[in-house]
Amino acid sequence: MQGRVVAAGGRSEERPSRQINVILRNSEPPVISQTLPDAEPAVISKTAGQHQGVFAEIQKELDQLIGLENIKELVYEIFALLQVKQLRTEAGLLAGSQVYHMIYKGNPGTGKTTVARIVAKMFQKMGVLSKGHFIEAERADLVGEYIGHTAQKTRDLVKKALGGILFIDEAYSLARGGEKDFGKEAIDTLVKAMEDYKDQFILILAGYSDEMEFFLHTNPGLPSRFPIQIDFPDYSIDQLIQISESMVKERDYILMPQAILKLKQHLVAEKNESPHAFSNGRYVRNVIERSIRHQAVRLLNQYSNGSPGKLELMTIRTEDFKFDKNSNK
């Protein structure tokens, strides 16, 4: 939809098209022109315009991720909300605050940490978080060794995260030991910190789907404190191949078609063999990085008296994928 707002009286205000896309996108006729009082021209918001640029940058990073459509949509929703909130504030309307604490559910390597980092950047650039730094923690960073130690450790961690995002991986492990475990003290301290430092940091808890469901039910106050819950599904074989291709491209390499085929067969076998332990994008990254090492050794052996050309330096061949299992060699 175009970014020309027709103000009442037929006058048209020229403005960069990006500026109001967020309001008009997917919407019916541009209501804004009907609701503006006669004499009032559409207001050009400088901040909102800047934010559109921010989103373009975030979107570029998201677009590089394969799949994850639900997540891309949600990030856009959050952006739209923040943008409209800004416009409402500038228009003197109420712009209530939202809770952005989140739960990311999914198997290893499904992109949880990657997405959390992008989201942290967006919140910082949109002015929701003052610093936008990203602290990744796990059970050992929160749980102490004696009574009172855990609360202190958890509080210290939250203080470090103020102005940014605190991302706790495998968060369900905090609930693992039951009532007597110090993990419970960590959860209680986190819940309190969410009240004490409301709006000053965003907490993201991540972990396997089932375990996170269990975790949320260990404390009745938890589910409502995390209004945004996102599922990170396992990648299909085709998506894993696309991820491999984008990883090699990023590193200035290319995969030969036969090499792709070999990789594909290996991924099918590997996924079938350990469907629950398969680590998705992380697995693919390790395989690609290993193939790059093998390619380097192959090239040195092959070109002991000269140097390979540019194309050869870039090419990953079938023999560079060496899989441990005999059946996939």
Ligand X SMILES: Nc1ncnc2c1ncn2[C@@H]1O[C@H](COP(=O)(O)OP(=O)(O)OP(=O)(O)O)[C@@H](O)[C@H]1O
- The contact set with Mg ion (CB under 5 A) reads 113
- Candidates 19-27, 39-47, 84-92, 281-289 — which segment interacts with ligand X by CB under 6 A? 281-289
DSSP string, 21-35: HHHHTT-SS-HHHHH
Interface pick for ligand X out of 21, 33, 113, 318 (rule CB under 6 A): 113
Interface pick for ligand X out of 15, 160, 176, 282 (rule CB under 6 A): 282
Interface pick for ligand X out of 66, 120, 202, 267 (rule CB under 6 A): 66
Toward ligand X, which CB reaches closer, 50 or 246? 246
Residue 72 interface partner, choices ligand X, Mg ion, none, CB cut-off 5-8 Å depending on type: none
CB 66 within 8 A of CB 243: yes
* Closest to 42 in 3D by CA, of 16, 10, 5, 17: 5
Query: CB 210 → ligand X: shortest distance, Å?
Result: 14
Would you state the structure tokens that stand for residue 41, as one six-digit string? 């021209």
Query: CB 173 → ligand X: shortest distance, Å?
Result: 12
Query: CB 263 → ligand X: shortest distance, Å?
Result: 15
* Closest to 284 in 3D by CA, of 239, 218, 219, 226: 239
The residue whose Cβ lies closest to ligand X is 281
Residue 193 interface partner, choices Mg ion, ligand X, none, CB cut-off 5-8 Å depending on type: none
Residue 209, interface with ligand X (CB under 6 A)? no
Contacts of 150 (CB under 8 A, 6+ apart): 142, 143, 144, 182, 183, 185, 186, 189
Q: Restricting to residues 154-193, which ones interact with ligand X according to CB under 6 A?
A: 169
Range list of H helices, 91-145: 112-125, 139-142
Eight-class DSSP state of 5: E
Toward ligand X, which CB reaches closer, 109 or 183? 109
Query: CB 261 → ligand X: shortest distance, Å?
Result: 20
Toward Mg ion, which CB reaches closer, 203 or 255? 203
In the block, tokens 């050009």 appear at: 44
3-state secondary structure of 150: helix
CB 153 within 8 A of CB 161: no
Eight-class DSSP state of 44: P
Eight-class DSSP state of 307: -
Residue 109, interface with ligand X (CB under 6 A)? yes
Beta bridge partners of 202: 165
Residue 103, interface with ligand X (CB under 6 A)? no
Q: How far is C-alpha 267 from the chain's CA centre?
A: 24
Residue 270, interface with ligand X (CB under 6 A)? no
Toward Mg ion, which CB reaches closer, 42 or 106? 106
CB 252 within 8 A of CB 314: yes
Interface pick for ligand X out of 7, 158, 204, 243 (rule CB under 6 A): 243
Toward ligand X, which CB reaches closer, 132 or 281? 281
- Candidates 2-10, 55-63, 88-96, 112-120 — which segment interacts with ligand X by CB under 6 A? 112-120
* Closest to 123 in 3D by CA, of 167, 179, 171, 153: 167
Interface pick for ligand X out of 20, 22, 68, 87 (rule CB under 6 A): 68
Residue type, 290: R
Q: Which residues bind ligand X (CB under 6 A)?
A: 65-68, 106, 108-114, 169, 243, 246, 279, 281-282, 285
